[in-house]
Homo-oligomer: A and B are copies of this chain.
């Protein structure tokens, strides 16, 4: 039995440990700070060891997206009304974006994964719409619109470490724009704005407005 102090019980490197660590690193330090070398040092290992368990950095990012989406609450909702259903699905996705603001942009070009992860929620919501008089293509458009709204709302959010001060708009010939810019600088307005937009969007949806298919 050796007496020298060694790494206690040497936890083996696995895909899961790598992904969990990567998500944690992104959450705490930001996407740019996720570096093979930084990830390795966080795992107590040289960067090159990671490649034995994962196809490369892109593979890690894909895995992080999987991990993220596993957190999507997919509990069945009891609401039978399609608007309430849709709003609830939207709020769950939005909550995920708030829980992981640094990692959420990874969904930008992987939105298909979001539908797969939330398939039971999405299927149920569209089912309610169809029951509420929507044609199939109609319900699909409405669903996609809401999802894009939520994704886009998060992706177009002002930066966490953004310049806080509102810029002066020349001469104040634009009083409303000036007042608007002051609210933009205030991150506390975000949640209210999301609810405002979601309510408006859902209120505006209704059966019979299928987007025209391409010519």
| Residues of chain A at the chain B interface (Cβ within 8 Å) | 107-109, 111-112, 115-116, 119-120, 122-123, 126-127, 130, 136, 139-145, 148-149, 151-156, 158-159, 162, 166-167, 169, 173-177, 179-181, 183-186, 188-189, 191-193, 195-197, 199-205, 209-214
Contacts and interface: CB of A to CB of B under 8 A. Distances in A.
Contact of A111 (B142, B158, B192): B158
A193 B162 CA distance: 31
- Number of copies of chain A assembled together: 2
Contact of A195 (B174, B188, B211): B211
B156 A111 contact: yes
Nearest to A215: B188
A151 B205 CA distance: 20
Contacts of A152: 148-149, 151-156
B184 A144 contact: yes
Given A204-B203, A214-B188, A112 B181 contact: yes
Interface centre among A120, A126, A173, A191 (most CB of B within 10 A): A126
Nearest to A126: B176
Main secondary structure of the interface of A (DSSP, over half): helix
A107 B200 CA distance: 24
Nearest to A159: B109
A173 B119 CA distance: 10
10 contacts: A109-B162, A115-B181, A115-B184, A119-B177, A122-B176, A126-B180, A149-B152, A151-B152, A200-B204, A201-B204
B193 A144 contact: yes
